[in-house]
Structure 1
Amino acid sequence: MRFLSDLWRILRHDKGALIGGAIVLIYCLAAVFGPMLVEVGTEQDASQAYLPPSLEHPLGTDSLGQGVLSQIIVGTRPIMIVGVLSAVITVFVGVAIGLLTGYVGGVADTLIMRVTDIFLTIPGLPLIIVLASVINTTNPVVLAFILSITAWAGLARAIRSQAMSLRSREFVEAAKLQGVSLGNMVGRQLLPNVGPYVAIHFLLAITGAIYASVGLFLLGIAPISGNNWGIMINLAMAQGALYTTDSAFYLFSPMAAIVILQVAFVFFSRALDSVFNPRLRVQ
């Protein structure tokens, strides 16, 4: 595919984007295969608590003597699943509403945009916290819906603006004369033209959802079960990581994992920008 060949060409010339893409790929592989290759033990050994980094435990151990690195690897899957699912929901709803309202216009556009404006004015984080507290679930699909409850609104308005500018283009007028159905018009005529913006927003939506989901577990709002980065930070702080150096690696290791992933997404998105906007390409 031309897209993949262009992307690879840009990655070869932009080392930062290449490194970012490689890191994102490593995280994805850890999410898929990590729990099958790495096991977090259930045995507790107080003599092994809070050990510094070593060959056996590269990131040290926690209060139970279990390896921090293995917990980070296993915890990658739930965080990535929630982030990707939330981004998919956000993009699907935002793009569908934006394209339909922007192309159809009229009363439907006015009414739906008023609803969209309401979601734009709702403080997203407090609403997410309240919903997560009430529902009290660790189901990734449910958490993804909670995190995307208001995230779609901004994208919908941006896509609507692009759809309104596209509906007067010649290729759209030609499709109208051919009697193209609404679904065909939106899916084949309009959607490809907003694809670049959607792709970049998808990556941003993943990073935002990851931050929010980690925050829910960090605050103890979502039930603490299994392994994920937010729970690790929560437990480390509960064990006094802010006041002693014993659990420092247990606290800062998941924080570093989050920051590295976010930075990697930013650098990799630069490559996508260059693919979709040739004037940005590194010569």
Structure 2
Amino acid sequence: MQFFERFKRAFAQYLKHNLKLQIGLTLLTALILAILITPIIRGIKFGREDPLTIGIFERYLPPSFKHPLGTDLFGRDVLIIVLEGLKNSFLLGIETGIIATLIGTFVGVTSGYKRGIYDAILRTLADNMLVLPVWPILVILALYVRINDMLSFSLILAVFSWAWIARTIRAQVLYLKEMPYIDLAKVSGLGSIEIITKEIMPNLLPYIGVGLSNAVISAILMESGVRLIGLGPPTVMTLGLLIQYSINWGVLSLGMYNIILPPIFLIIILFASLNLINIGLEEQFNPKIKKITGE
């Protein structure tokens, strides 16, 4: 508990002096607030009407007070669709990031602490995952596998996202194992599980946080790409799926930029916010970067 209190105070202090982290957290907070107020917007503007129901409004309506971003091919309100897509894309990124981080952390800690045959097998597995031709595999999956739920989609994306985290965590565990306090813990009679949970894991938290941030970014961008090849649950609206639909509908040729630009803009903002947070954390906790930036 003392470590977490020190970490929280150190993070709060660092936040005051890191502009990248401040901007990233501000942008991310704004996006989360937009997601949270979506039901309120729906209630105020449409009452009991469901703006996502096909044919409820006239299709391809231009932007207006009632429909700030107009309506789409199916007569649905574009603003609500985009906000719904933002929510699902963000949740997909978080879900995938958590799964990938849990796998990567387990593999990295086990590989780095146990060494021997465990290290050889897990390190080889992680190295092979890093050089896999991801997109050809995803294209094949899109041809032969039908995904109908977000959890299955997240698991598939996580399979291609954990290896980098595992290598980073393994490197830190190898470094921490050489620290004097680890030798002292062994002499004191602590077992491997206790040493890992009490001495090693708390010191890995910053790197786990960076890994999670990277995994979320990777998942959101990967989802946007694989939607274009038809992989993912077709009934769950995400920003990537909205972009795919917009391309298939030919909205650019129709000049309906109010349909395709908002999801692209939100993906850029979401990527920028998470990337700035990631850079800010790395500048604080990566000694090499910290030395270069002088922060």
TM-score norm. by structure 1 comes to 0.87
Q: Which residue of 2 aligns with 1:196?
A: 206
Amino acid of the residue matched to residue 188 of structure 2?
Q
Match of 2:278 among 254, 269, 280: 269
Measured after TM superposition, the shift of residue 218 of structure 1 is 3.0
Can you list the C-alpha shifts for 1:63-115, whole angstroms capped at 9, x where unaligned? 23322111111122221221111111111111111111111111221122222
Q: Which residue of 2 aligns with 1:58?
A: 68
Contact persistence 1:81–1:140 (CA under 8 A): no
Q: Which residue of 2 aligns with 1:230?
A: 240
Contact persistence 2:142–2:230 (CA under 8 A): no
Amino acid of the residue matched to residue 55 of structure 2?
Q
Q: Which residue of 1 aligns with 2:218?
A: 208
Q: For residues 18 and 56 of structure 1, what CA distance do their matches in structure 2 show? A: 34
Q: Which residue of 2 aligns with 1:96?
A: 106
Q: Which residue of 1 aligns with 2:45?
A: none
Q: Which residue of 2 aligns with 1:114?
A: 124
Measured after TM superposition, the shift of residue 189 of structure 1 is 1.5
Q: For residues 36 and 137 of structure 2, what CA distance do their matches in structure 1 show? A: 31
Q: Which residue of 2 aligns with 1:41?
A: 52
Alignment gaps of 5+ in structure 1: none
Q: For residues 37 and 152 of structure 2, what CA distance do their matches in structure 1 show? A: 23
Alignment gaps of 5+ in structure 2: 43-49
Q: For residues 229 and 50 of structure 1, what CA distance do their matches in structure 2 show? A: 20
Q: For residues 9 and 101 of structure 2, what CA distance do their matches in structure 1 show? A: 25
Identical counterparts, % of pairs: 26
User: Which deviates the most, 126-135 or 201-210?
Assistant: 126-135
Contact persistence 2:153–2:233 (CA under 8 A): no
Query: What SS does the aligned partner of 1:243 have?
Result: helix
Measured after TM superposition, the shift of residue 255 of structure 1 is 0.8
Change (3 A) 1:236 1:24: same
Measured after TM superposition, the shift of residue 4 of structure 1 is 4.2
RMSD of aligned alpha carbons: 2.7
Contact persistence 2:61–2:71 (CA under 8 A): yes
Change (3 A) 1:17 1:119: closer
Amino acid of the residue matched to residue 17 of structure 1?
L
Change (3 A) 1:43 1:108: closer
Can you list the C-alpha shifts for 1:28-63, whole angstroms capped at 9, x where unaligned? 344456357535331526755141x33322223212
Change (3 A) 1:20 1:116: closer
Amino acid of the residue matched to residue 52 of structure 2?
G
Q: Which residue of 1 aligns with 2:269?
A: 260
Q: Which residue of 1 aligns with 2:251?
A: 241
Measured after TM superposition, the shift of residue 117 of structure 1 is 2.2
Q: Mapping of 1:56-205 within 5 angstroms?
A: 56-205=66-215
Change (3 A) 1:18 1:117: closer
Amino acid of the residue matched to residue 272 of structure 1?
L
Query: What SS does the aligned partner of 2:234 have?
Result: coil
Query: What SS does the aligned partner of 2:235 have?
Result: coil
Change (3 A) 1:122 1:43: closer
Measured after TM superposition, the shift of residue 14 of structure 1 is 4.4
Can you list the C-alpha shifts for 1:118-152, whole angstroms capped at 9, x where unaligned? 22221123323433543311322111110011321
Q: For residues 143 and 38 of structure 2, what CA distance do their matches in structure 1 show? A: 29
Change (3 A) 1:30 1:135: farther
Q: For residues 56 and 13 of structure 1, what CA distance do their matches in structure 2 show? A: 42
Give the paired residue count. Answer: 281
Q: For residues 124 and 105 of structure 1, what CA distance do their matches in structure 2 show? A: 28
Match of 1:22 among 26, 31, 34: 26
Contact persistence 1:217–1:223 (CA under 8 A): no
Contact persistence 1:35–1:74 (CA under 8 A): no
Q: For residues 139 and 39 of structure 2, what CA distance do their matches in structure 1 show? A: 28
Contact persistence 1:35–1:73 (CA under 8 A): no
Contact persistence 2:162–2:215 (CA under 8 A): no
Q: Which residue of 1 aligns with 2:47?
A: none
Amino acid of the residue matched to residue 253 of structure 1?
P
Amino acid of the residue matched to residue 198 of structure 1?
I
Measured after TM superposition, the shift of residue 236 of structure 1 is 1.1
